Structure 1
Amino acid sequence: MSSKTSDVVAVNCHEYETQYFGFSSRGFINFYYNEFISAWAQVVEDVLMPSILQGEQHDKSAVKNLRDKLLNRLFQHGKLDLILKKAQEHAVKYIFKVPTCVTLPSDRLNLELQHYDEQELLAKIERYRKEILEMRLSLNI
């Protein structure tokens, strides 16, 4: 697998990290995205709007338009999305990267070499073959 392909897989398919940490980097970044938006909305409502209006009478539609413009200012030119995309890439690459030497408890069995008795396996195969033949004969296949 090329380096570029492995980077794409690492960014798009971080299942092992999700399994290890119990959450994905995308979920982590989305949490902060939502918190950031919520905090900005709170600042607009509680700080900016009162200081701009300062007791004056204003047209309700103009106030609503101003509030919407202030809230949407975060999303202009996709800057916030770009920042959060870079934060997610950084999180996947550096923060939530599970080192190759770490093995999940559920995967430890896969590290142990499984020993099978070849004669026993061949005997099972033969037994299953006979059972299949008997079933076919009984079903007239």
Structure 2
Amino acid sequence: MISYALAGQADASARVLDEAMRLLSQPSRDDEVRLGQRSVVGDDLYAVYQTTCDIYLGLGTDVIDALQPRLDGLARSSPRTAMISRAKLAHAYANAGQPADAVRLAWETLDAHDQVGSHSALTEVRRTSRVLRQWEVRADVRGEIADLAHRLSG
């Protein structure tokens, strides 16, 4: 589903997401390996996957509305998932034309990364950084975007 979103194929991404959630909702047998994230279940799991696809498709405002209220709950169930979601939220803010919020969340993610560690979170901040480049012309965030890029390169 995410690969379809990265390729800009919204319909295919939505179709595969629906199928994945259908499969994950089926009861497992005792001899099966449990699929999905153990720390995030139900509607939150769907929201994490859906918002990830939407972010990669270039969406912002709807993603912010869906993901922002879930951060505290995600942090209680999994600090690592919350950190990755915070990085994705930064990307959504960049997509929505709110680079100051995107930079703030990217820095928060990097600070959390120093404590928890996550290659996935770093990858998401790098994706956010690429989107933020379009906002470097704004004087209010130019230096912060450059500082973020510098930290990511080091």
Instruction: State the TM-score bracket (shorter-chain normalisation).
Output: under 0.3
The structure having more radius of gyration, on CA atoms, is: 1
Taking CA–CA contacts closer than 8 Å with sequence separation of 6 or more, which of the two structures ends up with the larger relative contact order? 1
Give the TM-score taking structure 1 as reference length. 0.24
Give the TM-score taking structure 2 as reference length. 0.22
